[in-house]
Protein backbone atom coordinates (compact mmCIF):
# COMPACT_ATOMS: atom_id res chain seq x y z
CA UNK A 1 0.00 0.00 0.00
CA UNK A 2 1.33 3.43 -0.94
CA UNK A 3 1.74 5.86 1.91
CA UNK A 4 0.87 9.47 1.12
CA UNK A 5 3.21 11.96 2.84
CA UNK A 6 1.88 14.48 5.32
CA UNK A 7 2.88 17.39 3.10
CA UNK A 8 0.39 16.36 0.43
CA UNK A 9 -2.48 16.48 2.92
CA UNK A 10 -1.35 19.87 4.15
CA UNK A 11 -1.10 21.26 0.62
CA UNK A 12 -4.62 20.05 -0.21
CA UNK A 13 -5.93 21.54 3.05
CA UNK A 14 -4.19 24.85 2.33
CA UNK A 15 -5.69 25.01 -1.16
CA UNK A 16 -9.18 24.23 0.17
CA UNK A 17 -8.77 26.85 2.91
CA UNK A 18 -7.57 29.45 0.39
CA UNK A 19 -10.54 28.77 -1.89
CA UNK A 20 -12.88 29.18 1.07
CA UNK A 21 -11.20 32.40 2.21
CA UNK A 22 -11.32 33.89 -1.30
CA UNK A 23 -14.98 32.91 -1.64
CA UNK A 24 -15.81 34.48 1.70
CA UNK A 25 -13.97 37.72 0.99
CA UNK A 26 -14.90 38.16 -2.68
CA UNK A 27 -18.58 37.26 -2.86
CA UNK A 28 -21.50 39.21 -1.44
CA UNK A 29 -24.03 36.38 -1.38
CA UNK A 30 -24.73 35.11 2.14
CA UNK A 31 -25.18 31.51 0.98
CA UNK A 32 -21.81 31.55 -0.76
CA UNK A 33 -20.28 33.01 2.41
CA UNK A 34 -21.73 30.14 4.46
CA UNK A 35 -20.42 27.57 1.98
CA UNK A 36 -17.00 29.24 2.07
CA UNK A 37 -16.92 29.02 5.85
CA UNK A 38 -17.79 25.34 5.57
CA UNK A 39 -14.89 24.88 3.15
CA UNK A 40 -12.51 26.51 5.61
CA UNK A 41 -13.75 24.28 8.43
CA UNK A 42 -13.32 21.20 6.24
CA UNK A 43 -9.75 22.26 5.46
CA UNK A 44 -9.06 22.39 9.19
CA UNK A 45 -10.61 18.92 9.52
CA UNK A 46 -8.30 17.56 6.81
CA UNK A 47 -5.32 19.03 8.63
CA UNK A 48 -6.36 17.57 11.99
CA UNK A 49 -6.97 14.11 10.58
CA UNK A 50 -3.68 14.23 8.65
CA UNK A 51 -1.74 15.06 11.80
CA UNK A 52 -3.64 12.35 13.63
CA UNK A 53 -2.61 9.87 10.95
CA UNK A 54 0.99 11.03 11.26
CA UNK A 55 0.88 10.57 15.06
CA UNK A 56 -1.06 7.31 15.14
CA UNK A 57 -0.69 6.62 18.86
CA UNK A 58 -3.42 9.03 20.00
CA UNK A 59 -6.73 10.08 18.45
CA UNK A 60 -6.86 13.70 19.53
CA UNK A 61 -7.01 15.00 15.94
CA UNK A 62 -10.05 12.89 15.12
CA UNK A 63 -11.82 13.98 18.29
CA UNK A 64 -11.26 17.63 17.40
CA UNK A 65 -12.47 16.93 13.86
CA UNK A 66 -15.73 15.49 15.23
CA UNK A 67 -16.23 18.57 17.40
CA UNK A 68 -15.61 20.82 14.38
CA UNK A 69 -18.16 18.84 12.37
CA UNK A 70 -20.72 19.36 15.14
CA UNK A 71 -19.95 23.09 15.30
CA UNK A 72 -20.20 23.33 11.51
CA UNK A 73 -23.62 21.66 11.55
CA UNK A 74 -24.87 24.08 14.20
CA UNK A 75 -23.35 27.01 12.30
CA UNK A 76 -25.07 25.93 9.10
CA UNK A 77 -28.45 25.63 10.82
CA UNK A 78 -28.21 29.04 12.49
CA UNK A 79 -26.73 30.65 9.39
CA UNK A 80 -29.47 29.33 7.14
CA UNK A 81 -32.11 30.53 9.59
CA UNK A 82 -30.57 34.02 9.52
CA UNK A 83 -30.39 33.96 5.71
CA UNK A 84 -34.05 32.91 5.48
CA UNK A 85 -35.09 35.70 7.84
CA UNK A 86 -33.04 38.19 5.84
CA UNK A 87 -34.60 36.99 2.59
CA UNK A 88 -38.11 37.35 4.01
CA UNK A 89 -37.41 40.95 5.04
CA UNK A 90 -35.23 42.24 2.22
CA UNK A 91 -36.05 39.83 -0.66
CA UNK A 92 -32.29 39.44 -1.19
CA UNK A 93 -29.48 37.38 0.31
CA UNK A 94 -26.72 39.86 -0.46
CA UNK A 95 -24.64 40.70 2.59
CA UNK A 96 -24.41 44.40 1.79
CA UNK A 97 -28.20 44.73 2.26
CA UNK A 98 -28.04 43.13 5.70
CA UNK A 99 -28.00 46.35 7.71
CA UNK A 100 -30.92 45.42 9.95
CA UNK A 101 -28.87 45.50 13.16
CA UNK A 102 -27.62 49.03 12.62
CA UNK A 103 -29.30 51.93 14.42
Task: Please give the full DSSP string across 33-69, using - where no structure is assigned.
Answer: HHHHHHHHHHHHHHHHHHHHHHSTT--HHHHHHHHHH
List, as own/partner pairs, every contact residues 35-39 make where C-beta atoms lie below 8 angstroms and the sequence separation is at least 24, other chains included.
Answer: 37/75, 37/79, 38/72, 38/75, 38/76
pTM for the whole thing?
0.79
- Greatest Cα pair distance, the chain, in angstroms, is 61
Fold for 6-96, please state it: Helix Hairpins (1.10.287)
How many alpha carbons lie under 13 Å from residue 53 in its C-beta half-sphere? 14
- Per residue in 13-41, pLDDT (tens digit) is 999 999 999 999 998 888 888 889 999 99
Q: Where are the domains of the chain?
A: 6-96
Nearest to 66 by CA among 82, 79, 52, 80: 52
- Per residue in 45-91, pLDDT (tens digit) is 889 888 888 877 877 878 888 888 888 888 888 888 888 887 887 78
Amino acid sequence: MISIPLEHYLVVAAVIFAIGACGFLARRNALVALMSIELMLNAVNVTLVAFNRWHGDNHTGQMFAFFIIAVAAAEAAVGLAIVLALFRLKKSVRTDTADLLKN
